[in-house]
Structure 1
Amino acid sequence: MELYDVLIVGGGPIGLACALEAKKNNLKYIVIEKGTVVNSLYNYPLYMTFFSTADRLEIDEIPFITTKPKPGRQDALEYYQGIARAKEINIKSYEKVINIQKSTFFQVETSKQIYSAKNVVIATGFYDIPNLMNIKGEELPKVKHYYTEPYPYAFQNIVVIGSSNSSVDAALEIYRKGGNVTMIIRNNEISKSVKYWVKPDIENRIKEGSVKAFFGAELLEVKEHSVIFKTEKGEIREIENDFVLAMTGYLPDFEFLKNIGIDLKGECQNPHYNPETMETNIDGIYLAGVVCGGKDTHLWFIENSRIHAKQIIKDIIDKQ
């Protein structure tokens, strides 16, 4: 069995950054990705525009060239997958890591085989597990936790849950394709984190009544042809409904982290790691990217976690 210096779990932007750093330092590495390269970006809404400018999304100082001020999903796919091709990154796609155990070295079991590695980097992001509402009817097929494009929802009664970027993008796109959109929002205003060029748009559409919004409200139940929710004043209302887009966020795979022995702390399930080296409570297992934040998935993103790759590889080399 081959022995790798570094096995990287996750082929997203930060996983690729770790691979490039390992390659530059002549470490024998492999990346294991359960889907396609940068799988989470592939599953983003088709017409999504990043908040960050292209230079903030660059890895390994490779220029991210785009004609637009802010890149979109397709631009990012071209950039990151292009790097994987040009740099001949050693990546196994459509292979899911099932378990990691340590004996003399780490034994990494996947859906296809077992690998042996001296060190493991977990760069799995957080886009795989929806943050459930835990209400009656959430299991109905009409409830969607992922949004890709507006066309299936044209001329339908749509409820969008939340006021984050994903919620606002979905509400505006569906409204402009003829959908009858109602937003149910726990807070008393549109999130301050919404992209600054989009926020006035949704606020004006709500103000003019093109998009209906209930602030300080809570969805209570999803039924076959309607939804029931509580208003800010405590009134119980029921409205006709064809689809619910529950843009309630996503979570890292905490069970996977716990099963391999990583300590998780507090209500937010923050994983234990050394912020200088990114090494966890298990010697030789490192965290990189969004997964470091536990439930606080807004803490880490591409532009501020690219540095993790250098921190991790430096620590591995220093130990050697």
Structure 2
Amino acid sequence: MPENQNHYDILIIGAGPIGMACAIEAQRASLSYVIVEKGALVNSLYNYPVFMTFFSTSQKLEIGGVPFVTISPKPNRNEAVEYYRRVAEKFNLNINLFERVNQVVKNDADIFEVTTSKTNYTANHVIVSTGFYDVPLLMNVPGENLPKVTHYYKDPHLYAFQNVVVVGANNSGVDAALETYRKGAKVTMIVRSAELGPHVKYWVRPDIENRIKEGEISAHFNSELVEIRADEVDIKTAEGIKTIKNDFVIAMTGYQPDFSMLRKFGIDLPQSLCPVYNEETMETNVKGLYLAGVVCGGMDTHKLFIENSRVHAEMIINHIVQ
């Protein structure tokens, strides 16, 4: 085994809730570890909309046996960020933030050599727990690269009294539409299908349906955005192309894992784009390289969440110990 200060039993890529859960289990098993995170602690959650409320209860978001106490039945984004920060403090987790992993390769001694934006590491095992929030699904339409277009929505105040187009009708799109409308924006929703997304939160669905019914929010179903210009957009509808005034486009079209990174690490990705791994151990086709959390779902980003992928941490560490 290499003898240097940057060698660990386990190197974990991603300091989200599942990456932290893996670190806690490694700590309990007396394994040395380090988490390397390209952004802030729980970076994806940090980038969620400021006023977002989780679908899950706080108990289902707990890791490490630390109670997640809230005054509401369902916690919000701010409470979650604070909770996970306190978990990191409680376990004194070894986390290196704002450090991007660039390469993971195995050497002749069967040890992983990990190169980052700041230094190099070696590790006996690597866990990839990077989620899927970093790579948005693009619309691939003219004007998508204009400054007024965003694939990440955070705070509705920016859009007060503006003409706003929201693309998408799942939770993120519905939340953006309702919140910006309530800040005085003139909101137009563009929905590719014939109805709102099936996963829209049950307590939010009546609100958005009523706003559309009353004409307070305009919605074009079976439609798509086909071009974006500085002060207007073109929408393809069943009745033909419609042009409307526009100041901002919020494209809530979804996200995907960083497939190029997974391929670079040697992980097999079949045509379905669901990474190859053993569902009992979470080990990929690369021996000693594991996946944890929502990254395992590939393009099916509604398959795995914090609550049903927390178990990956125990599965992985148990396999490593055995």
> Which residue pairs with 2:76 in the alignment?
72
User: 1:192 aligned to 194, 198, 205, which one?
Assistant: 198
User: 2:106 aligned to 92, 102, 109, which one?
Assistant: 102
Shift of 1:192: 1.6
2:252 equivalent to 1:239: no
2:298 equivalent to 1:294: yes
> Which residue pairs with 1:38 in the alignment?
42
Paired AA for residue 162 in structure 1: G
> Which residue pairs with 2:122 in the alignment?
116
Give the 3-state SS of the residue equivalent to 2:92 in structure 1. coil
User: 1:183 aligned to 183, 189, 192, which one?
Assistant: 189
2:285 equivalent to 1:277: no
Distance in 2, Cα, partners of 1:98 & 1:80: 26
User: 1:155 aligned to 149, 161, 169, which one?
Assistant: 161
Distance in 1, Cα, partners of 2:215 & 2:127: 49
> Which residue pairs with 2:177 in the alignment?
171
Paired AA for residue 249 in structure 2: V
> Which residue pairs with 2:211 in the alignment?
205
User: 2:87 aligned to 83, 87, 97, which one?
Assistant: 83
TM-score normalised to the size of structure 2? 0.97
Give the 3-state SS of the residue equivalent to 2:173 in structure 1. helix
2:16 equivalent to 1:12: yes
Shift of 1:60: 1.8
User: 2:97 aligned to 88, 93, 97, which one?
Assistant: 93
> Which residue pairs with 2:253 in the alignment?
248
Distance in 2, Cα, partners of 1:237 & 1:303: 42
Give the 3-state SS of the residue equivalent to 2:212 in structure 1. helix
Distance in 2, Cα, partners of 1:29 & 1:213: 50
> Which residue pairs with 1:138 in the alignment?
144
Tell me how many residue pairs correspond in the alignment.
316
Give the 3-state SS of the residue equivalent to 1:163 in structure 2. coil
Distance in 2, Cα, partners of 1:237 & 1:78: 44
> Which residue pairs with 2:270 in the alignment?
265
2:216 equivalent to 1:223: no
Give the 3-state SS of the residue equivalent to 1:271 in structure 2. coil
Give the 3-state SS of the residue equivalent to 2:38 in structure 1. coil
Paired AA for residue 165 in structure 1: N
Paired AA for residue 84 in structure 1: A
User: How much identity, in percent, do the aligned residues show?
Assistant: 57
Q: Can you list the C-alpha shifts for 1:163-221, whole angstroms capped at 9, x where unaligned?
A: 01000000000000100000000011111201110000000000000000001101111
Paired AA for residue 102 in structure 1: K
CA-based RMSD of the aligned residues comes to 0.7
Q: Can you list the C-alpha shifts for 1:86-115, whole angstroms capped at 9, x where unaligned?
A: 110000011110000101210010000000
Paired AA for residue 260 in structure 1: F
Distance in 2, Cα, partners of 1:91 & 1:123: 14
TM-score normalised to the size of structure 1? 0.98
2:32 equivalent to 1:28: yes
Structure 2: 5+ residue stretches without partners: none
Shift of 1:234: 4.6
List structure 1 segments (4+ residues) > 4 angstroms apart after TM superposition.
none
